[in-house]
Amino acid sequence: MKRALAIMVGAALILLLATLTLVVMPYLQMSAEQVPPDLKPYTEQQQRGRQVYIANGCVYCHSQQPRDPSFAPGDKDRGWGRPSVPGDYAYDEPHLLGTMRTGPDLFNIGARQPSIDWQLMHLYNPKAIIKGSIMPSYPFLFRHVKEPVEGDKVVNIPPPYGPETGKIVATEDALALAEYMLALDHTYPAPTLPKAPPKSDEPKENRAP
Amino acid sequence: MTPTIAILLIITFVLSTVGLLLLIWSIANNQFSHGQDAARTIFSPGEEGHSEDPARPSDQTFTGDNSEQAEAIEARWIADQSSRTAVLTWLSSSVFWLLLGSFFGLASSIKMHLPEFLTASEFLTFGRIRPVHLNAVTYGWASMAGIGVALFLIPRLFKTSLVGGRYAVIGGFIWNIGLVLGLSAITLGLSDGEEWLEFPWQIDILFVLGGALCAIPLLLTAANRKVEHLYVTSWYLMAALVWFPFLFLIANLPFAFPGASGATVNWWFAHNVLGLWVTPIGIGIAYYMIPKILGKPIISYQLSLIGFWSLALFYSQVGIHHLIGGPIPTWLVTLSIVHSVMMSIPVITVAINHHGTMVGNFGRLKDSPTLRFVWIGALMYTVASLQGSMEALRSINVITHFTHYTVAHAHLGMYAFLSFILFGAVYFIMPRLTNWEWPWRKLISLHFWLVSIGILIYVVSLTVAGWKQGVALLDAAMPFMDIVKMTLPALQARTVGGALMTLGHLVFAFHFIAMLMRSGAATEQPTLFRPATKETAQ
Ligand code: HEM
Ligand code: HEM
């Protein structure tokens, strides 16, 4: 029994060590990180949109973390933005960094596609806007009505993607999600860039798109 | 650097020094010197040199040359029976979740090249069925089957009956309830939002509880054990069962880690599920099955101990290689990369033992289903891990990180390594618990070929396409949609491979149920890939 216990205690100690280095220390360091002054907290509606993003698993295809151009030039060149810093995520709970780019990075989608109509149309059916897109459509975030009533947000879908009769109206969830997309705009300058120095021939201004 | 970090660094340093002292102490105290004696503890007296394999014709099954040896065999049979209810509870559940997870995986795969497939319902949108797939196969199939096999091996390793099996049965029920609730929550859109941690944390408590209930029989049986040496498999199993509840608890602490530090905790956890949970279970099982079926101890017991402790040290720190290039401190990423590369040490030591023991016995792969599944799994462990060490290097990861290449690696690890070993173990265990032989040799064969060809198509197509995707993404010259179109053929190929795998799982599940119902004809002959009469000599 003594030896069995020794193994289990040893195993637990090693994990404790890893917890210190991989959980506690980064937490302390990053929570001391400066929050960029231009970063605005989410509004209630944007936060709700964030929940819709989580509920429907957008994170499995989209990242929110452009990399440093000296490391991976494609990110900036595609217009995805400057490298993100810990402070950019100060209001993100849970984080939605993502590890797949089946679709493009969304860290600055609000700056790239600032129109709410574009966002709604795209959510209703991505193919209506981007030929050959493999993003699924989200019809369940919309209502199909005969006659929109006062206050309804009508989304005009180009044929043949819309319904033959009646109108498509965004639900609260769709509006919230679209607002969240617009809030993903991190084009302000970052106070601290990652410690790994970008190549010195990279002028500072170039980091923000 | 803040003072707190300095203090933590000092603590870390002190801790590792203590670790080193412990190591020196244990060497000085001969903890490492059992050598080959310990490697032989898995055999009952006189059994060495005889295969214990359901796929061997019964005339070669070792029953003991004298009464003492026969008694030992009898005792082992009793030990096997003692774990029956507990093991069958966990294994049957795991087979169910494998089927469910496969269908969700297949549907996810179809959706990636036919995005209009099943879009009307929010419950079946890609972003929900994909996490259902991951959680069903990870916590349902891999974890439950792993625990089931562990419960079977514990009494065998300790040469005594399982004590407190009831707790494991209750644990199994709680775990299943957790899965039903957790997967429903994801389907309803109530995910916690982090990969590998989607289940709402309130539901996660059930898993901690269910897992802890399995630790009770482990501890009770260990206290009761009749062997002096602890075979290396029990090291892995004990450590894994200590690690998992701890990991799961910390990572799920609600609202503790916001923002970017949440991402580090997320991936610290996710890689530990792989490295400190399913991997030790998989390696541990292979460490038992390969020598047992060959009737030959592993070639180096010392190496296996080094492999174990270096795995614990290095694997626990690799998690941040999932965030290379991300918004986190550079030292952290570097730390994880260094450990990822250091992982080649345990991987190579394990490889020497697993494959070295096989040398001269490869012919047995032709008849023993267990050996064939387990050894291919062990080989794929070596391959997936060496691939992983490369993939963690900055220069490679910058290409592969956000691509299908990672998915291919994930399935090479979770499927070709882990699931294969679990399949093999189930083929070994079931006849011993039900006292019945697998009814149809052809079904085992069919299962094997379907899943092998399936996973081959899966991994090869996505590896190639993922690499091309990654290279193209680095250069904005190629428009994003062109890259998407370039990957489509591979995504379609994945559906083909995945369909074959799913078919294989249906065959496997059918055979498993037939086994539970003791279908087919009673036979004295164990079921092999080839008819017993053509059996070649050892
Ligand atoms: C020495 C051993 C290994 C190393 C160093 C390693 C390294 C890595 C790296 C660098 C990634 C890619 C992360 C990214 O770019 O996003 C990865 C992903 C992954 N690996 Fe490994 N790997 C190893 C062994 C294994 C094994 C044995 C398994 C299975 C049991 C496994 C399962 C996975 C999975 C499932 C992922 C995908 C995680 C996700 O994105 O959800 N790996 N690994
Ligand atoms: C039956 C055939 C299977 C099919 C068709 C399939 C398909 C898929 C698909 C489509 C994804 C999503 C990839 C993405 O988001 O881009 C996925 C992810 C995953 N699957 Fe499977 N899968 C199968 C079996 C399994 C099994 C049996 C396991 C584990 C034992 C497994 C473990 C995983 C893991 C760990 C991931 C996450 C990968 C990552 O995040 O990088 N899969 N699978």
pLDDT band for position A18 (50/70/90)?
Answer: confident
- Output the pLDDT for position B34: 57
State yes or no: pLDDT of A137 exceeds 70.
Answer: yes
DSSP annotation of B450: H
B324 and B181 in a single domain? The answer is no
How far lies B65's CA from each of A184, B294, B447, in Å? Answer: 75, 19, 37
Report whether A188 contacts A36 (CB < 8 A): yes
CB B343 within 8 A of CB B271: no
Helix (H) or strand (E) holding A169: strand A167-170
- Same domain? B469 vs B383: yes
Distance B397 CA to ligand 1 centre (A): 11
Average pLDDT over residues B262-272: 90
d(C-alpha A137, C-alpha A125), whole Å: 5
Distance CA A140, CA A52 (A): 12
Q: State mean pLDDT over B148-158.
A: 93
Helix B404-411 × helix B369-391 angle, to 10° = 150
- Highest average pLDDT, of A143-152, B96-105, B349-358, comes from B96-105
Give yes or no: residues A1 and A97 share one domain.
no
Q: Is B130 in the pocket of ligand 2 (CB under 6 A)?
A: yes
Q: What is the mean pLDDT of residues B245-262?
A: 79
User: Which residues are paired to A154 by β-bridges?
Assistant: A169
Choosing from B129, B137, B321 the residue with most ligand 2 atoms within 8 A of its CB, the one to mutate for a pocket test is: B137
pLDDT at A195 over 50: no
Query: pLDDT, tens digit, for every residue of B455-508?
Result: 999 999 999 999 999 999 999 889 999 999 999 999 999 999 999 999 999 999
pLDDT above 60 (res B188): yes
Least confident of A57-61, B15-19, B151-155, B402-406: B15-19
| DSSP secondary structure of B56-121 | S-GGGS---SSHHHHHHHHHHHHHHHHTHHHHHHHHHHHHHHHHHHHHHHHHHHHHHH-TTTT-S-
Interface touch B239/A11, C-beta < 8 Å: yes
* B510 within 8 A of B447, measured Cβ to Cβ: no
Query: What pLDDT score was predicted for residue B388?
Result: 95
Query: Taking 50 as the threshold, does the pLDDT of residue B430 lie above it?
Result: yes
pLDDT the model gives residue B169:
96
Structure tokens at B321: 């290689």
Domain boundary at B174, B195, B228, which?
A: B228
Question: Quick one: A19 and A44 in the same domain?
Answer: no
CATH classification of the domain holding B180: 1.20.210.10
Distance CA B469, CA B471 (A): 6
B327/B215 same-domain check = no
Question: Does residue B365 sit in the same domain as residue B490?
Answer: yes
Tally of structural domains, chain A:
2
* Sign (positive or negative) of CA dihedral B326, B328, B330, B336: negative
Identify the three-state secondary structure at position A144: strand
Can you give the residue range of the structural domain that contains A10? 1-29
**pLDDT for res B47:** 79
The counts of H helices and E strands in chain A are 7, 3
Residue A204 pLDDT grade (very low, low, confident, very high; cuts 50, 70, 90): very low
Whole-structure pTM value = 0.91
> Per residue in B321-372, pLDDT tens?
999 999 988 888 988 998 999 899 999 999 999 999 998 888 888 888 999 9
Q: Quick one: DSSP state of residue B477?
A: T
State the virtual CA torsion across B191, B196, B200, B204 in degrees, nearest 10.
160
B399 CA to chain A: closest CA distance, Å?
8
Q: How far is A194 from A67, CA to CA, in rounded Å? A: 10
φ, ψ (nearest 5 deg) of residue B321: -70, -5
Tell me how many degrees the CA angle B103-A96-B411 measures, rounded to the nearest 5.
35
Place of tokens 């005792």: B75
Tokens at residue B123, please?
């419950």
Q: Is B268 in the pocket of ligand 2 (CB under 6 A)?
A: no
**Distance from B291 to chain A by nearest Cα, in Å?**
22
Mean of per-residue pLDDT scores for chain B: 88
Residues B489 and B348 in one domain: yes
CA-wise closest residue to A168 among A147, A143, A139, A140: A143
CB contact under 8 A, B195 and A54: no
Answer whether A136 sits within 8 Å of B125, measured CB to CB.
Answer: yes
pLDDT of residue B5: 59
pLDDT value at position B138?
96
| Selection from B398, B487, B368 nearest residue B57 by Cα | B368
Residue pair B310/B348 in contact by the 8 Å Cβ criterion: no
Structural domains counted in chain B: 2
- Return the sign of the alpha-carbon dihedral for residues B94, B100, B101, B106: positive
Residue partners of B86: CB distance under 8 A and separation at least 6: B148, B151, B162, B165, B166, B168, B169, B172, B217
Question: Does one domain contain both A79 and A3?
Answer: no
| Residue, of B17 and B248, whose pLDDT is higher | B248
Categorize the per-residue pLDDT at A117 as very low, low, confident or very high, splitting at 50, 70 and 90: very high
Q: Is A166 a member of any domain?
A: no
Cβ pair A103, A59 in contact under 8 A:
no
Residues in chain A: 209
Report which protein residue has its CA nearest ligand 2's atom 36.
B134
- For residue A192, what pLDDT band results from cuts at 50, 70 and 90? low
> Is residue B363 included in any domain, yes or no?
yes
Report residues whose beta carbon is within 6 angstroms of any ligand 1 atom.
A 99; B 195, 274, 278-279, 318, 321-322, 340, 343, 347, 381, 384-385, 388-389, 391-392, 397, 400-401, 406, 409-410, 413-414, 417-418
Q: Is this complex's ipTM strictly greater than 0.90? A: no
Nearest-5° angle of CA A30, CA A32, CA A36?
85
- Ligand 2: does its nearest atom lie under 6 Å from the Cβ of B502? yes
Instruction: Give the gap in angstroms from C-alpha B153 to the nearest C-alpha of chain A.
Output: 15
In this prediction, residues A53-72 reach a mean pLDDT of: 94
> Residue B385 — pLDDT band, cuts 50, 70, 90?
very high
Q: Which two tokens stand for residue A1?
A: 């029994």
Q: What is the pLDDT of residue A197?
A: 45
Rg of chain A over Cα atoms, rounded to whole angstroms, equals: 22
> What pLDDT sits at residue B533?
47
pLDDT at B515 over 80: yes
Atom 12 in ligand 2: residue holding the nearest Cα: B130
**Residue A94 shares a structural domain with residue A7:** no
Contact B55, B368 (CB under 8 A): yes
Is the shortest distance between the CB of B239 and ligand 2 below 6 Å?
no
Number of residues that make up chain B: 538
Tally of CB atoms within 10 A around B212: 16
Q: Are residues A15 and A81 in the same domain?
A: no
Atom of ligand 2 nearest to the CA of B495: 5
Look up the domain containing B484 and give its range. 292-538
Q: Please state which of the ranges A5-19, B17-31, B110-124 shows the lowest mean pLDDT.
A: B17-31
Look at residue B32 and tell me if it is in a domain.
no
Mean pLDDT of chain A: 86
- CB atoms B325 and A65 under 8 Å: yes
Q: Considering only A124-128, B245-249, B432-436, which range has the smallest mean pLDDT? A: B245-249
Taking the Cβ of residue A154 and every Cβ of chain B, the question of whether any pair is shorter than 8 Å is answered with: no
Of the spans A103-112, B8-17, B251-260, B291-300, which averages the highest pLDDT? A103-112
With contact defined as beta carbons under 8 Å apart, do B508 and B447 qualify? yes
Chains A and B: how many Cβ contacts under 8 Å?
Answer: 267
Kindly write down the DSSP assignment for every residue of A183-204, as one continuous string. Answer: H----SPPSS--SSPPPTTS-G
Out of A75-89, B15-29, B295-309, least confident range: B15-29
d(CA B236, CA B334): 27
Measured in Å, residue A54 CA sits from the centre of ligand 2 at 19
Together in a domain, A133 and A178: yes
Separation between Cα atoms, residue A51 and residue B189, nearest integer Å:
9
Which residue in chain A has the smallest CA separation from B324?
A67
pLDDT tops 90 at residue B537? no
Sequence-ordered list of residues with C-beta below 8 angstroms from that of B334, at least 6 positions apart, any chain: none
Q: What amino acid occupies position B167?
A: Y
Asked whether B373 lines ligand 2 (CB < 6 A), one says no
Euclidean distance between CA atoms B260 and B280, whole angstroms: 29
Please determine, for residue B526, whether its predicted confidence score (pLDDT) is greater than 70. Answer: no
B440 vs B405 pLDDT, higher one: B405
The alpha carbon of residue A33 and the mean position of all alpha carbons in its chain are separated, in whole angstroms, by 20
User: Does the Cβ of B283 fall within 6 Å of ligand 2?
Assistant: no
**For the segment B24-70, what is each residue's pLDDT rounded down to a tens digit?**
666 656 655 556 777 787 887 777 777 776 544 444 567 677 777 88
Q: Is residue B246 part of a domain?
A: no
Choosing from B175, B201, B228, the residue where a domain stops is B228
CB-count exposure of residue B522 (10 Å: 0-12, 13-18, 19+): exposed
Residue ending a domain, among B175, B200, B228, is: B228
* Cα(B270)–Cα(A99) distance, integer angstroms: 12
Here the CATH number for the domain that contains residue A127 is: 1.10.760.10
d(CA B239, CA B312): 9
Decide if pLDDT at B536 tops 80: no
User: Which residue type, as a one-letter code, is found at position B18?
Assistant: V
